[in-house]
């Protein structure tokens, strides 16, 4: 099991109140696939500097730290690509936090 950090950019077009539900669904998907959620950090809505699509000019950012098997990441990436509530997702390795002495 490795520790990962997932940066999610959620599609917030007219759905500001649905952010918590979207994060709950993301956490449930990771847990059902065999991952263990450590933290979910809600950030804020940010306007995109480069707008690729005029329908998506901003997004709500959220950071999810979890542990999972490395093979799970490719499956989660493809599953989240089909979710209309998620505009982008980036998974990176997250370093282990060592307890202070």
Q: Which of 71, 74, 79, 94 is nearest to 26 (CA)?
A: 79
Q: Mean pLDDT over residues 59-70, rounded?
A: 92
Secondary structure percentages of the chain, helix, strand, coil, to 5: 30, 40, 30
- Residue 81 and residue 85: Cα distance in Å, rounded? 10
Residues 20-40 have pLDDT tens digits of 888 999 999 999 999 999 999
- The residues that bridge with 40 in the sheet, in sequence order, are 64
Q: Mean pLDDT over residues 48-55, rounded?
A: 73
- The tokens describing 50, both together, are 């480069």
pLDDT bucket at 69, cuts 50 / 70 / 90 = very high
Query: Cβ neighbours of residue 21 under 8 Å, at least 6 residues apart?
Result: none
In this prediction the pTM is 0.84
Q: Which domains does the chain have, with CATH numbers?
A: 2-93 (3.30.70.60)
- Compute the radius of gyration of the chain from its Cα atoms: 14
Residues 78-99 have pLDDT tens digits of 999 998 889 899 999 988 776 6
């Amino acid at each position: 099991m490795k520790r990962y950090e997932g940066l999610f950019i959620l599609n917030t077009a007219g759905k500001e109140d649905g952010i918590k539900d979207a994060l709950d669904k993301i956490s449930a998907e990771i847990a059902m696939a065999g991952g263990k959620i450590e933290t979910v950090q809600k950030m804020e809505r940010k306007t995109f500097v480069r707008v690729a699509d005029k329908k998506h000019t901003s997004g709500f950012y959220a950071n999810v730290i979890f542990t999972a098997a490395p093979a799970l990441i490719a499956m989660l990436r493809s599953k989240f690509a089909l979710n209309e509530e998620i505009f982008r997702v980036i998974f990176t390795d997250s370093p282990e936090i060592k307890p202070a002495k």
